Amino acid sequence: MASFLIFNMYAIKSTQARHRQETTWNQGLWMMPGSEERVKPMSRCVKFIWSSNENPTKSPQLCPGLRSWETPCDIRIKISWFSKPKEDCLMSYFAGDARYELNFVMQTKLFLNNGVVTSTGAAARDLEIEKALIVTGPITAESEGLATAVETLEGAKIKHAVWANVEPEVPERTVSACVNAYRENECNGIIAIGGGSSIDTAKMAGCIIGGGGSIREYDLTQERQAPPNLPPLLCIPTTAGTGSEVTSMAVFTHGDDSSKRVVISANMCPNVALVDPLLTYSMPPDLTAVTGIDAFCHSIEAYLSTLSSPISDSLSLYAMELAAKFLPRAVKDGEDDEARAGMSVAATMAGMAISHAMPHFAHAIGHVLGARCHVPHGAACSAVLPQGLRKLKSAQSGKFRKIACIFGLAPEDYAGEEAVADAAIDAIENMISTIGLPRLEDVMGQFEGKPSELVSACVIEPGMMFSPVPLSELDVMDILGIKSG
């Protein structure tokens, strides 16, 4: 099976000349071509052109050398900034100058229920794992959930070694150390138990185990891609946020400049995910908030992405609805059964959504802020979310009506689409404040350096290409509250 939503979109060149950016995704390669014709089959060629003649403040390039992941599917996409529908109705995806062919295939086998961690041994046996490296952090290593997983492995007569040295934000040295532990213990499979850092570490370690080299050779700015012969991977999340247990993505911190780098490969998708809401009960309120808001950001960014579709929208909307309803409750009361279950479902569905529609401005800027302001990933993303959404409301007015309804607002009570969007964004901002996450000014207060360098780093983040509105350096400055001059 393959974990991809396959689009065949042949959008005619946009009539909007200003801020035009065209993106082609062909056979697993993202491109911003200069061609005005329909998509043509290509092998392995990457080129970027950013049309910004009428806006000299825009960065002249997005990210040299960006490529995407290998895929067994034939994927051809051509879109432009202005080819996405403003109205959120089904036929708007099929009308006009774009033709969409939508296919959805899920690679990761997902089991979600209270107590499903007791299936660890059976799942590992089905994957033909004889000796597993359990990848986790020092706190989770002492948890009841891990003890239960180990007990079921022993019951299934599967050997194991516990490697409990995962670090937050996954420095590349952590990935290398995990690979060494796998080889030293002569394992033939990996079981990741923990939050996003544990799962991402396991996924990236698998890349190196199967393909050699170092993890920096696999990030989006490089040519190397994960091979198909990776060790079997079973993931058991203990947080409700990243959704990494069902995605083809992982993030590490580069050793040279502390920047966040993304690795994406179809081959890196976990084989099996056991999502057990009971494992999330031990999260304190601050961790519940910072991981849960990441799931919310995933859902709303995927919903507004240039790669959104009716299929990804259904995942995004329900994940957003669950997070809006249950995240404040889970933060307030960690023993709230319904809230914990709801957030586990939200995080997993949002992970599925971003695998097909891709996150954009909040994660792009959040990666930079997280690395340079030394704040947790979720807090960095949520800090820029409200102001960034205000930049997008004109391009996605129909979708903001749905977002408003999720927060219990009645669009007919407001005078126009812009007022509806503003009310929805205000509700999101209120939720972020209610769960105790830092304000943007608090996050920016941690930054030491030149604002211009911060802004430049943000606009060249790869995820920016999926924003429904192209964001210039001036836009990013406005989002971050940086005054020009």
**Structure confidence by residue, pLDDT tens digits, 129-172:** 999 999 999 999 999 999 999 999 999 999 999 999 999 999 99
Picking from 280, 309, 335, the residue at the C-terminal end of a domain is 280
Has residue 82 got a pLDDT over 70? no
Is there a single domain that holds both residue 298 and residue 382?
yes
Cα–Cα distance measured from residue 77 to residue 97, given in angstroms and rounded to the nearest whole number: 13
Q: For residues 201-217, give the mean pLDDT.
A: 95
Same domain, 446 and 421: yes
Where b means 16+ CB within 10 Å and e means fewer, 20-42 reads: bbbbbbbebbbbbbeeeeebeee
Please report the pLDDT score of residue 60 as a whole number: 28
| Range 225-241 average pLDDT | 95
The pLDDT value given to residue 140: 97
Q: What is the pLDDT of residues 154-166, one digit of tens each?
A: 999 999 999 999 9
CA–CA dist 221, 215 (Å, integer): 12
252 contacts: CB under 8 Å, gap ≥ 6 = 170, 171, 172, 174, 175, 200, 204, 215, 219, 260, 261, 263
Give mean pLDDT, residues 404-416. Answer: 96
DSSP of 446-466, one letter per residue? T--S-HHHHHHHHHT-GGGGG
> If residue 238 lies in a helix (H) or strand (E), which one and from where to where?
none
Q: Are residues 317 and 272 in the same domain?
A: no
Q: Is residue 9 part of a domain?
A: no
Q: Where a domain ends, among 280, 304, 339?
A: 280
- What is the DSSP code (8-state) at residue 437? P
pLDDT at residue 47, as a whole number: 28
Residues 267, 218: Cα–Cα separation, whole Å: 12
Cα–Cα distances in Å, from 352 out to 107, 246, 357, 483? 10, 6, 9, 37
So what's the pLDDT on residue 65? Answer: 30
Q: Which structural domain range is residue 385 located in?
A: 290-480
| Residue in 314, 271, 212 with CA at minimum distance from that of residue 5 | 314
Q: Where are the alpha helices (DSSP H) in 374-439?
A: 377-392, 397-406, 417-434
Tell me the average pLDDT across 380-399.
Answer: 93
pLDDT interval class at 92 (50, 70, 90): low
Domain CATH number, residue 246? 3.40.50.1970
Query: Is residue 40 assigned to a domain?
Result: no
Task: Give 242-299 pLDDT, tens digit per residue.
Answer: 999 999 999 999 877 778 889 998 899 999 999 999 999 999 999 999 999 999 999 9
Q: Where are the alpha helices (DSSP H) in 194-336?
A: 196-211, 285-304, 310-332
Structural domain total, the chain: 2
Residue 15, domain member (yes or no): no
Looking at per-residue pLDDT, the higher value among 395 and 69 belongs to 395
What pLDDT is recorded for position 33? 31
| Beta strand pairing call for 76-80 and 22-26 | antiparallel
Token pair, residue 246, equals 């069902």
Domain CATH for 332:
1.20.1090.10
In a domain, 360, yes or no: yes
- Looking at residue 68, what is its pLDDT? 31
pLDDT digits (tens, 9 = 90+) for 325-368: 999 999 999 999 999 999 999 999 999 999 888 999 999 999 99
Residue 188's nearest CA partner among 236, 127, 237 is 127
Q: What percentage of the chain exceeds 90 in pLDDT?
A: 67
Q: What is the pLDDT of residue 89?
A: 60
Is residue 450 domain-shared with residue 339, that is, in the same domain? Answer: yes
Q: Are residues 371 and 393 both part of a single domain?
A: yes
Q: What is the pLDDT of residue 125?
A: 98
Compute the Cα dihedral for 24, 29, 34, 35 and give only its sign: negative
The pLDDT, as a whole number, for residue 93 is: 62
362 and 333 within one domain: yes
Lowest mean pLDDT, pick from 93-97, 119-123, 376-380:
93-97
**pLDDT on residue 88:** 56
> Would 12 be classed as within a structural domain?
no
For residues 298 and 214, membership in a common domain is answered with no
pLDDT digits (tens, 9 = 90+) for 14-39: 222 223 333 333 323 333 333 223 22
Burial category of 244 from C-beta neighbours within 10 Å (exposed 0-12, middle 13-18, buried 19 and up): buried
Q: Tell whether pTM > 0.95.
A: no
CB 120 within 8 A of CB 182: no
Q: 28 lies in a domain?
A: no
User: From CA 294, how far away is CA 297, in angstroms rounded?
Assistant: 5
Backbone CA torsion sign across 384, 378, 86, 55 = positive
In this structure, is residue 18 part of a structural domain? no
Question: 297 with 274, same domain?
Answer: no
Closest CA to 19 of 67, 65, 57: 57
Task: Please check whether residues 332 and 225 belong to one and the same domain.
Answer: no
Give pLDDT, residue 309. 86
